[in-house]
Structure 1
Amino acid sequence: MSKSSNTSVLGCLYLVPNTLGEEDRVTQLSRVIPPDALCQMASLKNWIVEDAKTARALLNAVNQITPLSHPLQSMQMNEWRGPQSKNKTGLKPHELLKPLIQGEDVGLMSEAGVPGVADPGAEIINMAHHLGARVKPLVGPSSILLGLMASGLNGQCFSFHGYLPVDVVERSKKIKQLEHRSKQNHETQLWIETPYRNTAMLETCLATLLPQTQLCLAIDLSLETEWIWTAPINEWQKRFTNQSSMNDVLKNRPAIFLMLA
């Protein structure tokens, strides 16, 4: 497939953010997504999404603020969860972008946060570039950047690692490796965890990291229940002495872990 020499006939791929957490979407939208971005979202008919049900829920919320240009029933909505997972349509990136090639705009929607950052979509975006189409990111909440902003840790040099190993031994080993890397490069290390395993992750951090290493947890970012705290490991150990105290803060809540040695 060769890159188009006439980008004017191609549509634009809009990278559409989603809200974070379970709080009412209508309440969140006006707080975390600018009006211009909401208007652009409301104008789109063609969509690539992780989950059609979640996408329709977001667009229903958008409709209560900025009326949709097209009824939900008339929208073309294809699911894409990345190259390693089975998407219902079975379509490849260039096939999903067929409307783009035909001159129509397409929205790539995140399940939570922003597309392509700790979120599927990089392959779709890369294909749009390959075709020669315009790619337009819309402003919205990124838990990774919000957590880094609020942590007080090094925002000039940082590295995001996605999910760490589930196995306790492998997880401890990985955290020690990240601590060594952080100390060597003065680099903030960031990662996420499945919410129901947050307590186990914090327990491993408190048992593994050095007393003076700084740890930040940023929980429920952009929500009314937001909770953010940065402190040395020895202060964390004083505040959270047992699993119950950890569960009270962490259990089943979306969190970003940040560490600087």
Structure 2
Amino acid sequence: MSYFLINLLGMGMLYLIPVPLHEGDGMYLNAVIQNKVKTCFNVIAESVKMAKRHLNFYGHLQIQNVHIHILNEHTPEFERAVWIQDIKNHNHDWILMSDAGCPAIADPGTELVMEAHRYGLQVKTLGVPSAITMAVMLSGLSGQRFWFEGYLPAETLKRPSRIKFLERQ
């Protein structure tokens, strides 16, 4: 089965692409991410400089043709809405990347992901090394602070008390 979904709705998708934490970190350098990055010409990032560096890292050959949209604490809400509508109304995929690491985890991209879900857009991740990280990225919930509990107790009597304990945290 292909990693890329065929989009029958006529909408683009928002791809959350992890980027290296530091120079020389090849952890995220794989063909799936490279192929997606090379075909996208709309990138949402925290800074133009870092976006170009990451596009170059992934081998994008037409960086001068890429529209880099800045997302930070100063980006107006209406601008995010314009991006969402463009993804929704056209069959163009967009990329969201952070300056370092995974977008939407302790990152301004969190709100954009939540808005994308609200408007029914498909949001996908590529090359994320952990299911927990992927779930936080895709959720649109704040990745600033979250709790991973793992498995709840298998015993029926212990499970409700553990859930109550977690609710109080």
1:141 shift after superposition: 5.7
- Equivalences, count: 131
**Please, which of 153, 157, 176 is the counterpart of residue 149 of structure 2?**
157
**Please, which of 52, 71, 74 is the counterpart of residue 80 of structure 1?**
71
Higher strand share: 1
User: Take 2:67 and 2:148, find their aligned partners in 1: how far apart are those partners?
Assistant: 41
Aligned to 2:141: none
1:202-240 per-residue CA deviation (whole Å, 9 max, x = no partner) reads xxxxxxxxxxxxxxxxxxxxxxxxxxxxxxxxxxxxxxx
Contact kept in structure 2, 1:18 and 1:140, CA below 8 Å: no
Q: RCO (CA 8 Å, sep 6+): is it higher in 1 or 2?
A: 2
Matching of residue 133 in structure 1 with residue 121 in structure 2: yes
User: Take 1:108 and 1:8, find their aligned partners in 2: how far apart are those partners?
Assistant: 21
User: Take 2:40 and 2:16, find their aligned partners in 1: how far apart are those partners?
Assistant: 11
Matching of residue 46 in structure 1 with residue 42 in structure 2: yes
Higher Rg? 1
Aligned AA (1:19): P
1:52-82 per-residue CA deviation (whole Å, 9 max, x = no partner) reads 110101111211xxxx3x611111111001x
Q: Pick closer, same or farther for the CA change 1:141–1:54 going to 2, 3 Å.
A: farther
Aligned AA (1:58): H
User: Take 1:128 and 1:19, find their aligned partners in 2: how far apart are those partners?
Assistant: 24
Give unmatched runs, 5+ long, in structure 1.
1-5, 146-154, 159-184, 187-261
Aligned to 1:97: 84
Mapping of residues 1-261 of structure 1, within 5 Å: 8-21=9-22, 23-24=23-24, 28-29=25-26, 31-63=27-59, 68=60, 71-81=62-72, 85-87=73-75, 91-101=78-88, 102-140=90-128, 157=149
User: Take 1:98 and 1:51, find their aligned partners in 2: how far apart are those partners?
Assistant: 22
1:171-197 per-residue CA deviation (whole Å, 9 max, x = no partner) reads xxxxxxxxxxxxxx79xxxxxxxxxxx
| CA RMSD between the two structures | 2.9
Aligned AA (1:13): L
User: Take 1:47 and 1:32, find their aligned partners in 2: how far apart are those partners?
Assistant: 17
TM-score by length of 2: 0.66
Give unmatched runs, 5+ long, in structure 2.
1-6, 134-146, 151-164
1:127 shift after superposition: 1.6
